[in-house]
Chain A
Amino acid sequence: MGIDSLKRALWIYHVNTGSCNGCDIEIVASLTPRYDIERFGIKLVGSPRHADVLLVTGPVTRQMEPRLRRVYAQTPDPKVVIVVGNCGADGDVFHESYNLVGPIDQIIPVDVYVHGCPPRPEAIIDGVVKAWLKLEGATTKETT
């Protein structure tokens, strides 16, 4: 129970806000036998209501902005947002494009950035570990 069961049973919901699918394929790759993140109890879920972690990819197109806000609001607390890929962090090759409203941290609060175009699965797993530490800090703050 408590924080231990939270950090060892993270359920991930993947939000694509206009990504080129490069990062999305790397996320799926981390579920394959080679990386197998289910070892750590991490599981991809189909609904933000079930999620502990929002894995956001893409530079946030104008159409996606209200949807991203809603998905964030639909996720039950405590939750963590991980941005995967350069696009979500600063727009990358789409930087200052007319149809973008990103980066993601101007729309919802972001906890961890994973850089790369696309990042390797190792980097994504490392991002999840950083999210663990963040969750640990958040819950100890609440209890004290």
Chain B
Amino acid sequence: MIALLLGPIGVAIVGSVVGLFYLGVDRRLVARMQARVGPPLVQPFRDVGKLMMKESIIPNGALRWLFQFSPVMCVMGSATLLLYIPLFGQPALFEGSGDAILLIYLLTVPSIALVAGGFASSSPYATVGAQREMVLMIGYEFPLSVTVVSIAWRILQVTDANAFAFSSMAQYPIWDLVGPLGLVGTLLLLVSLISVTPGELGRIPFDLAEAETELAGGLLVEYSGRNLALFYLGNAIRGFAVLSLVVALFFPYGIAAGIGVTSTVLAVIIDGAFFLVKVLLVMFVAVALVRSAMARFKINQASVFYLMIMTMVSLVGLLLIWADMML
């Protein structure tokens, strides 16, 4: 009972610390790729600390309770994600009570919190931002679902266990199951999931819901002080969760057994560190590299990119995995 109560709190605290740290690493990496020095790694912690001590203004026209409730919902929704994703090479805290399908649904909660907060703040900029976020959500949902379903379908061919559970995905890594044709298909699925990541996190080139230069902060335009800090924190946690999801789907490997570590404690530490490295690599490719190489999409370009191009890419991946199985 105590574990049931303290576990989620612990996961939320660890998730926020690690998420904020990765945010700092991301800013630093982007700065280095732009030939700048960049802020120190602890900068996101300072940002949150500063926002916490600032005045929180609630605009006159805002729907008061929703305006204040949305940031809390964003943080809680993001922290809930972490309960169902395997972290640090260990099974998820609530493994068995939820699988990848539940996670796809839960992933929408922080976005819905952002949208609700945007509409509640009664600013035209926030309203436009909220509408964009909804369009984007509809867009990336499809390639994300196709990717998860394809992997689960292939795993279903070799086991009777719940193929959507992350434990099955860790037991039968997708790369080991497929032949040469399926390898190409899996790579296509990986590409589509990596393209979904910045959209899910609202980063460049899919930051059109916040769009500082055209929408003056978009969804978050009216938020200040503590409420803004909570959104900042929620975004950091969600970033960590989505990156961990990519790792759990495609790279559920540990190295401790491979390099012959027998001590349990040492194996846990090594696998935990290896997990952080995997998340870092995924973040570098999916977030930092993309962010420094591209500019912002327009909303119609982003919709076409997700609904047409990435959906096609993931469906071709699914077909290739199917053909690989059948041939």
List the interface of chain A (C-beta within 8 A of B): 1-2, 4-6, 8-9, 33, 36, 38-41, 44-47, 49-50, 52, 74, 76-78
Q: A8-B46, A9-B43, A33-B36 are in contact. Are A78 and B217 (CB under 8 A)?
A: no
Q: CA–CA, A21 to B181, complex, Å?
A: 57
B215 in contact (CB, < 8 A): yes
Among the listed stretches B2-10, B50-58, B69-77, which one makes contact with chain A, having 4 or more residues with CB under 8 Å of it?
B50-58
Main secondary structure of the interface of B (DSSP, over half): loop
CB pair A39–B224 under 8 Å, yes or no, is no
Q: CA–CA, A1 to B27, complex, Å?
A: 21
The 4 closest A-B pairs by CB, nearest first: A46-B212, A5-B49, A76-B55, A47-B217
Q: CA–CA, A14 to B47, complex, Å?
A: 19
Q: CA–CA, A46 to B228, complex, Å?
A: 14
| Chain A residue with Cβ nearest B27 | A38
B220 in contact (CB, < 8 A): yes
List residues of chain A with CB within 8 A of the CB of B96.
none
Q: CA–CA, A35 to B62, complex, Å?
A: 39
| Chain A residue with Cβ nearest B218 | A46
List residues of chain A with CB within 8 A of the CB of B45.
5
| Chain A residue with Cβ nearest B30 | A38
> How big is chain B's contact interface, by range?
35 or more
Partner of A46, one of B49, B50, B55, B217: B217
Q: CA–CA, A62 to B54, complex, Å?
A: 31
List residues of chain A with CB within 8 A of the CB of B222.
47, 49
Q: CA–CA, A38 to B28, complex, Å?
A: 10
List residues of chain A with CB within 8 A of the CB of B47.
5, 9, 41
B221 in contact (CB, < 8 A): yes
List residues of chain B with CB within 8 A of the CB of A6.
50, 53
A36, A44, A47 — most chain B CB neighbours (10 Å): A47
Partner of A49, one of B39, B43, B211, B221: B221
List residues of chain B with CB within 8 A of the CB of A4.
46
Q: CA–CA, A38 to B44, complex, Å?
A: 12
CB pair A41–B46 under 8 Å, yes or no, is yes
Q: Nearest Cβ distance between residue B292 and chain A, in whole angstroms?
A: 12
B27, B46, B52 — most chain A CB neighbours (10 Å): B46
Q: A76-B55, A76-B224, A76-B225 are in contact. Are A47 and B50 (CB under 8 A)?
A: no
Q: CA–CA, A33 to B30, complex, Å?
A: 12
Q: CA–CA, A44 to B47, complex, Å?
A: 13
Q: Nearest Cβ distance between residue A120 and chain B, in whole angstroms?
A: 19
List residues of chain B with CB within 8 A of the CB of A52.
50, 54
B34 in contact (CB, < 8 A): yes
Q: Nearest Cβ distance between residue B194 and chain A, in whole angstroms?
A: 26
CB pair B216–A46 under 8 Å, yes or no, is yes
B213 in contact (CB, < 8 A): yes
